[in-house]
Amino acid sequence: MRYQLLEIPYDRKAAVEYADYWAYRRNPKYYAFDDIGGDCTNFVSQCIFAGCGVMNFTPTYGWYYLDLNDRAPAWTGVEYLYRFLTENRGPGPFGREAPISELEPGDVLQFALGGSPEYRHTVLVTRASPNLSELLVAAHDNDANCRQADTYSYNALRGIHLEGARYINRE
């Protein structure tokens, strides 16, 4: 049997529609991490998965969720998600760090909040704009949909532009 890694487009509309529906709810298919560190990156991972439908089951360094005790750190961890998306060469979604002016709906923003130099909050872009007061996001933790990005009190932010996803084709 031959294996081939094929690229597919990222469905931004599906990711944003998922965010719109679940921004103020919790999908029962996933554990809600609100009381144990926050649910922001878990929520954004769900949105990304809705837009690509492909997980990466590589232990430790992949991006997947099966249940609370069987998931990759990148599914729920801010820094791990950043590293996975920007370094992934295998199955699953992939992207690159990008300036705000290059972000599109379905892309990711991460914030360093409250004076901390560490990025600790992940949100999904639902309306793009080079102006942060017009760029809208959806998020969990302080649940929000269509929230202006400039309403966060942050000392650093970074964007991740999703470029597509890859899956393994078995012939």
pLDDT, position 155: 94
Q: Provide the domain limits for residue 130.
A: 3-170
pLDDT of the residue at 2: 78
Supply the pLDDT for residue 114.
84
| Cβ contact 23:143 at 8 Å | yes
> Tokens in use for 8?
């597919």
pLDDT reported for residue 43 = 98
**Which positions ≥6 away from 25 have C-beta within 8 Å?**
none
Q: What is the rounded distance in angstroms from the CA atom of residue 171 to the CA atom of residue 27?
A: 34
d(CA 32, CA 84): 21
With residue 98 as reference, give the H or E element that holds it. strand 92-98
Q: What angle do CA 71, 120, 77 make, to 5 degrees?
A: 10
How far is the C-alpha of 145 from the C-alpha of 114, rounded, in Å?
Answer: 21
Count of positions (residues) in the chain: 171
How far from chain centre, in Å, is Cα 70? 18
| Cα separation values, 69 from 27, 48, 78, Å | 17, 20, 18
Residues with pLDDT less than 70, the chain:
1
Instruction: Write the single-letter amino acid at 77.
Output: G
3-state secondary structure of 75: helix
pLDDT in tens, 85-111: 999 999 999 999 999 999 999 999 999
Domains held by the chain: number:
1
Which residue(s) pair with 135 in the sheet?
none
